[in-house]
Structure 1
Amino acid sequence: MIISFDLDDTLVSKNKFQLENVNLFQHFFGIEGLRKGTIGLFKEIKKRKHKINIYTTSYRSESSIKEMFYSYGISVNFIINQQKHQKRIRRLHVNRSKFPPVYDIDIHVDDSFGVEMEGEKYGFKTIIISEKDDNWLNAILSRID
């Protein structure tokens, strides 16, 4: 199974939820903090033989996203940023904020109810998690099994 994750307000935020501990290297290079629990979640997903993609509408470069996760000791399989997303949906002549099926993504994790509505309308699965959801890890793990 391929699972994608949004970044902003889902896995990355400055003040909406607790963050993983940041080491000196990450602090020095200004690497963004990840939501507390992300490292363990990603390791568990990989242990279950699933692939992890990042699907964000931010303009962060693919290399900066890859480096951020690598600095936490975790890897992702594929990164879709706004540039890649726009290029793909233009070719398909569709107008969606996110469209996981074009990347063979089985389920997308996001914080946006708008993405959930698009999923219902266009036939893709989503898991919507709140910034205040303390049980977000279990919500994801229970849905991917």
Structure 2
Amino acid sequence: MIISFDLDDTLIPGTKQFDTQERTFLQKLCKVEKLRVGTVALMKACQAKGHKIYVYTSSYRPPKRIWWMFYLYGIRLDKVINQQVHNQFVHLPFKPSKYPPAFNIDLHIDDSKGVEMEGHHFNFRTIIIREDNLNWADDILAAIG
């Protein structure tokens, strides 16, 4: 299964706030962004089950920067899709903010109710996590089996 994760307000705090993992000296030195508590363990558990892990974000952060950030947390991402990549590959008459089927993604994890509505409308699977859900990683593991 290919599982993608949104960044802002899902894994990285922004307007939504949640507990984040402690960063190492190297991560602080490299100005790596803080990740939501449970992210690394969840992604490693998914990879141990044979799933591929993508980041699918509407930000314009360079893919190499995102890949490097996760690498410094011990996660090797299989693919990074930022807004530029999305714009290159999603050519539809409608303009969804995310369209996982264009990248063969089986499940997308996000914080946005709008992405959830797009998933229902355009037939792609999403799990929407709230900032106050402390069991979010367990919920995702339960959903993927």
Name the TM-score class by shorter chain: over 0.9
Equivalence for 2:121: 121
Work out the CA distance in 1 between the residues paired with 2:88 and 2:51.
26
Number of matched pairs: 144
Equivalence for 2:89: 88
Note the residue ranges of structure 1 that are not aligned, 5 or more in a row: none
The DSSP-based 3-state class of the residue aligned with 1:7 is coil
After superposition, give the CA deviation of every residue in 1:75-102 in whole Å (9 maximum; x if it has no partner). Answer: 1101100000011123x44411000001
Equivalence for 1:140: 140
The DSSP-based 3-state class of the residue aligned with 1:10 is coil
Equivalence for 2:56: 55
Say whether residues 1:106 and 2:106 are aligned partners. Answer: yes
Moved over 3 A (4+): none
After superposition, give the CA deviation of every residue in 1:17-37 in whole Å (9 maximum; x if it has no partner). Answer: 111110111111211011111
| Residue type of the alignment partner of 1:40 | A
Work out the CA distance in 2 between the residues paired with 1:131 and 1:86.
28
The DSSP-based 3-state class of the residue aligned with 1:53 is strand
After superposition, give the CA deviation of every residue in 1:42-74 in whole Å (9 maximum; x if it has no partner). Answer: 110011111111000000000000010000111
* Aligned-residue CA RMSD (Å): 1.1
Kindly state the Cα deviation for residue 144 of structure 1 after the two structures are TM-superposed.
0.8
Work out the CA distance in 2 between the residues paired with 1:124 and 1:99.
8
The DSSP-based 3-state class of the residue aligned with 2:90 is helix
Kindly state the Cα deviation for residue 138 of structure 1 after the two structures are TM-superposed.
1.2
| Residue type of the alignment partner of 1:73 | G
Give the % identical residues.
47
Equivalence for 2:30: 29
Work out the CA distance in 1 between the residues paired with 2:53 and 2:74.
14
The DSSP-based 3-state class of the residue aligned with 2:12 is coil
Equivalence for 2:5: 5
